[in-house]
Amino acid sequence: MRLLAVVTIAFSLFSTVYGFCGSNPGSKEQVAKYEEEFQASLKNISTEAKQASYTVPVRWNIFYDQNNPSDGNYADSVIQQTISVLNYYYQSNGLSFAVASVQRIPIDYRTLHSFQFNTNPERQVKQAYRIGGAETLNIYSVGNNPNYPYSGWATFPRDYSSDPYNDGIVYIYNYLPGGSATGYNTGKIMAHEVGHWVGLYHTFQDGCQSDAYNAGDYVADTAAESGPASGCPTGQDSCPFLPGLDPVQNMMDYSNDACRTGFTPGQYARMKQQLQYRGIYI
């Protein structure tokens, strides 16, 4: 039974500050443990036959106000624009995305604007609407929560085996192409969240670390950064004693959409490794 109409849910985003991501990789110690386990697992799965490319099926769930459909609902063209953005940034790495289904679910206003990360109502909604396995991207499009300032959040590949129903991306619809989140409404925020879904961390994770392989985002060619960027502070060097300027043009920072230009070769390599958690070998 589709129980969303009677469930008071939780998810969201923010009003005056844009671009915040609610994805939670865990504590530094947990992340280090995950990474150790991941590196060990690579020895066992590296011999799997690889494909030249893989198309991820996308299950898109749109939640909107049952009394005011314009609050949350939008045309299929917005979905296709978003998919085009994803393919632009991921296809060169052998990964593309295609819409497999679209569900439109009317709910009450309060529920639409109350979503939060890692809550029981969130899990109930995902259990009711999630389709597919680890290789399927489920997107849950909801309204902004004034008390929870995030544009969206995603689960990581490693999380699937222990919590499959929680897998996917929760996304505030204002950040979709043409949405009201000025400066962050071209689809690049979704590309950022998909970055987490395929195994990337924020470029500023753990701040000014001295060893890019064993701390921070575990990618060697993204320079260390003391914290998230705002706007487009090109030339900023928040970790002056470490090599490189802040990677403010990277998709996994918090810069505005005009500033973000893509991923690094190291990030692309990590994606391919992390996708093996999802049974995707490219």
Strand pairing of 169-172 and 152-154? antiparallel
- The residue assigned the tokens 């921070």 is 216
- Tokens linked to 31: 């992340």
CA distances from 11 to 80, 112, 167, 169, 269 (A): 23, 8, 14, 11, 31
Token pair 């639409």 is found at 112
Quote the tokens at residue 36: 């150790």
Contact 152, 189 (CB under 8 A): yes
| Three-class DSSP category at 201 | coil
β-sheet bridge partners, residue 69: none
**For residue 29, with 0-12 CB atoms within 10 Å meaning exposed, 13-18 middle and 19 or more buried, which class applies?**
exposed
Please, what is the angle between helix 265-274 and helix 28-45, to 10°? 70
Long-range contacts of residues 202-205, Cβ cutoff 8 Å, at least 24 apart: 202/21, 202/228, 202/252, 202/253, 202/254, 203/247, 203/250, 203/252, 203/253, 204/228, 204/229, 204/253, 204/254, 205/25, 205/31
On the 0-12 / 13-18 / 19+ scale of CB atoms within 10 A, 267 is buried
Judge whether 193 counts as a catalytic residue. yes
Q: Which of 35, 36, 193, 225 is catalytic?
A: 193
Question: Known catalytic residues?
Answer: 193
